[in-house]
């Protein structure tokens, strides 16, 4: 297969939603239909013994939530599909924002009973800013929930989307009979028996079929006809060009837990979803069909395998081919690196690959060379943008509880911070270490992982910080020196040695901004 054909068969997308809308369950079912697994697991399960494939960290199995983005790849109908399953919980939103830089399109999952929730609004806003094509999957139709037209209105109103339904449910909850597929013009009936393997489906090619009427009743068919007329009159026809530009969002209905509507979603997605897209760098626009390799690190995961303490840097290939054992330029360090065992993923199972193409996600063993946002190229100086660190919202001192394990603690903190889980600040005054996170749950995750992966015990102490801001100014200037002298007990260095001001209230931050006009106060680390 030629280079261009390989690019054309790639589809890389992320699945995003509010917690508990059913993202991980949907990912499982997509793997099931893709033939990648024989039996689907579940996140919260009493009867199902198998946990979800994408939740492979110990803490995920305990809590029943996803805390890190996982990468899954499989082949379906000759297309290579790369899924990035992101955490929904807002405490891990940074991981999700970073993942969105590496996908070409997105599937948003919405719970039929709860409708659009706050976390979904934030994530969709990021997608709209970047004009990423969006598909919406409305999940859990086997439960009682909102009316389908109310939901479509809500998508338009709250998320600012321009939607067009490609399927329509017949009934809901206890009365749920099946789905009419507007895309393929057929009816699929719901039986709700088989949850973990692929069952047989019953299809009807026309609404007028007398057998169909005998099964679901006359009333349901009349309602369906009225609703279809309404859709024709109100919603625009599906147009792939508008979808690819991010101006039109198709909506599909189903129930991931019951395997219902998932295959339809997959088939529709393969037909319409974009191939790997060009990406902007600071220097120029990079096209996937260019022969020279470029790629960037969007995630680092420490301890994929707890026995080996290994770190993996996840790289998205933007253009050209990534070859095993070829030397590539690490732009920030300005040195050539070779990789003998680049990995392709299937949740925690990894396979060594010889060649990767644009759109693929490659895992590289990292000995401490990579940071999030680094670029690898065949030799050209290119910097990809768009992966900032945000100002944390929660701050705590971290203390060592076991003096014999000081080395392990330091190593553990450094590795977890490189992962981008949280940020580390060192106070200038006494060198105490402070951890800043976006959500409070992160502290527990860090504590748990330090103990179980590095054998280091730590405890936290509260600290009154309102906001962190990165300081930029003339270091030799009078004002800069005065600021450092007066505010010394509130100053710290971040991991890369940048000066950070930890303001204890919004008032003191405003006062400092007014008093020291020549200094710039930044709230993201990318300036």
Identify the top-confidence range among 38-52, 66-80, 93-107, 192-206: 93-107
Q: How far apart are CA 330 and CA 291, in angstroms?
A: 18
pLDDT for residue 390: 67
Q: Report CA 346 to chain centroid distance, whole Å.
A: 16
Q: How far apart are CA 414 and CA 475, in angstroms?
A: 27
Of the chain, the percentage scoring pLDDT greater than 90 comes to 20
Mean pLDDT of 278-296: 90
Of 59-73, 149-163, 306-320, 322-336, least confident by mean pLDDT is 59-73
At residue 87 the predicted structure's pLDDT band, cuts being 50, 70 and 90, is low
SS (H, E, C) 214-267: HHHCHHHHHHHHHHHHHHHHHCCCCCHHHHHCCCCEEEEECECCCCECHHHHHH
At residue 251 the predicted structure's pLDDT band, cuts being 50, 70 and 90, is very high
pLDDT for residue 64: 47
Does 334 score more than 60 pLDDT? yes
Mean pLDDT of the chain: 81
Q: How confident is the model over 176-198, as pLDDT tens digits?
A: 788 888 877 788 877 655 555 55
Of 210-224, 286-300, 367-381, least confident by mean pLDDT is 210-224
pLDDT for residue 198: 56
pLDDT for residue 88: 55
Element (H, E) at 124: helix 118-129
SS (H, E, C) 319-348: ECCEECCCCEEECCCCEEECCCCCEEEECC
Mean pLDDT of 117-146: 84
Short-list 433, 413, 77, CA closest to 267:
77
Prediction pTM value: 0.77
Longest CA pairwise span in the chain (Å): 87
Does 308 score more than 90 pLDDT? no
At residue 44 the predicted structure's pLDDT band, cuts being 50, 70 and 90, is very low
Does 43 score more than 50 pLDDT? no
Does 200 score more than 70 pLDDT? no
Compute φ and ψ for 296, nearest 5 degrees.
Answer: -140, 155
pLDDT for residue 523: 79
Mean pLDDT of 255-278: 86
Does 55 score more than 70 pLDDT? no
Supply angle C-alpha 439, 120, 136, rounded to 5. 150
* Higher-scoring residue by pLDDT: 199, 87: 87
Does 231 score more than 60 pLDDT? yes
pLDDT for residue 47: 41
* Higher-scoring residue by pLDDT: 203, 461: 461
Q: Report CA 300 to chain centroid distance, whole Å.
A: 13
Q: How far apart are CA 443 and CA 435, in angstroms?
A: 8
pLDDT for residue 42: 46
Does 212 score more than 60 pLDDT? yes
Short-list 255, 219, 216, 285, CA closest to 113:
255
pLDDT for residue 202: 72
Q: How far apart are CA 72 and CA 453, in angstroms?
A: 23
Contact 162, 243 (CB under 8 A): no
For the chain, which domains are there? 3-169+235-272 (3.40.50.300), 279-377 (2.40.30.10), 394-522 (3.30.70.3280)
- Paired residues of 286 in beta bridges: 279
Alpha helices in 53-111 (DSSP H): 58-63, 93-99
Q: How confident is the model over 462-507, as pLDDT tens digits?
A: 989 988 888 988 888 888 999 999 998 899 998 888 899 999 898 9
Q: How confident is the model over 1-41, as pLDDT tens digits?
A: 788 898 899 998 888 887 777 777 787 777 777 665 545 44
At residue 343 the predicted structure's pLDDT band, cuts being 50, 70 and 90, is confident
pLDDT for residue 459: 93
Give the number of other Cβ atoms within 10 Å of residue 260's Cβ.
Answer: 27
Contact 113, 140 (CB under 8 A): yes
Q: How far apart are CA 203 and CA 219, in angstroms?
A: 19
Residue count (the chain) = 527
Supply angle C-alpha 420, 131, 360, rounded to 5. 55
Compute φ and ψ for 512, nearest 5 degrees.
Answer: -60, -40
Mean pLDDT of 321-332: 91
Short-list 5, 4, 11, CA closest to 266:
11
Q: How far apart are CA 497 and CA 177, in angstroms?
A: 61
């Amino acid at each position: 297969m030629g280079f261009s054909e390989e690019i054309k068969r790639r589809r890389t997308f992320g699945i995003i939603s509010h917690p508990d809308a059913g993202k991980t369950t949907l990912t499982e079912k997509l793997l099931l239909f893709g033939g990648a697994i024989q039996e689907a697991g579940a996140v919260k399960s009493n009867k199902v013994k198998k946990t979800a494939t994408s939740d492979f960290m110990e803490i995920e199995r305990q809590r029943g939530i996803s805390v890190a983005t996982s990468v899954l790849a499989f082949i379906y109908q000759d297309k290579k599909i790369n899924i990035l399953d992101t955490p929904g919980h807002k405490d891990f939103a940074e991981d999700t924002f970073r993942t969105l830089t590496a996908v070409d399109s997105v599937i948003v999952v919405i719970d039929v009973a709860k409708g659009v929730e706050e976390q979904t609004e934030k994530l969709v806003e990021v997608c709209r800013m970047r004009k990423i094509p969006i598909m919406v999957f409305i999940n859990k139709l086997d439960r009682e929930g909102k009316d389908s037209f109310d939901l479509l209105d809500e998508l338009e109103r709250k998320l600012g989307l321009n939607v067009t339904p490609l399927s329509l449910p017949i009934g809901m909850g206890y009365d749920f009979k099946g789905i009419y597929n507007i895309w393929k013009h057929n009816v699929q009936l719901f039986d709700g028996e088989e949850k973990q393997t692929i069952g047989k489906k019953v299809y009807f090619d026309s609404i007028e079929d007398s057998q169909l009427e005998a099964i679901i009743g006359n009333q349901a068919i009349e309602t369906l006809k009225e609703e279809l007329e309404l859709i024709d009159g109100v919603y625009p026809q599906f147009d792939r060009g508008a979808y690819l530009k991010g101006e039109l969002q198709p909506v599909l209905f189903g129930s991931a837990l019951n395997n219902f509507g998932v295959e339809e979603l997959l088939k529709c997605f393969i037909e319409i979803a974009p191939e790997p897209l060009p990406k902007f760098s600071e220097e120029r626009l990079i096209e996937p069909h260019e022969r020279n390799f470029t790629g960037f690190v969007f995630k680092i995961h420490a301890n994929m395998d707890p026995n080996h303490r290994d770190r993996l840097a996840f790289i998205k290939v933007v253009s050209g081919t990534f070859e095993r054992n070829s030397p590539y330029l690490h732009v920030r360090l300005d040195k050539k690196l070779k990789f003998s065992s680049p990995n392709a993923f299937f949740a925690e199972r990894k396979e060594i690959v010889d060649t990767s193409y644009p759109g693929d996600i490659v895992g590289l063993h990292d000995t401490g060379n990579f940071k999030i946002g680094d670029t690898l190229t065949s030799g050209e100086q290119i910097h990809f943008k768009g992966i900032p660190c945000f100002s944390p919202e929660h701050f705590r001192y971290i203390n060592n509880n076991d003096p014999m394990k000081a080395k392990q603690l330091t190593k553990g903190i450094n590795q977890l911070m490189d992962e981008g889980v949280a940020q580390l600040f060192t106070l200038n005054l006494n060198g105490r270490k402070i951890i800043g996170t976006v959500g409070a749950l992160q502290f527990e995750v860090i504590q748990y992982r330090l103990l179980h992966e590095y054998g280091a015990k730590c405890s936290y102490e509260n600290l009154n910080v309102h906001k962190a801001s990165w300081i930029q100014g003339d270091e030799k200037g009078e004002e800069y020196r005065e600021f450092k002298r007066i505010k010394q007990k509130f100053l710290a260095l971040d991991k890369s040695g940048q000066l950070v001001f930890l303001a204890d209230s919004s008032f003191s931050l405003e006062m400092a901004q007014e008093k020291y006009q020549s200094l710039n106060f930044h709230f993201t680390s990318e300036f």
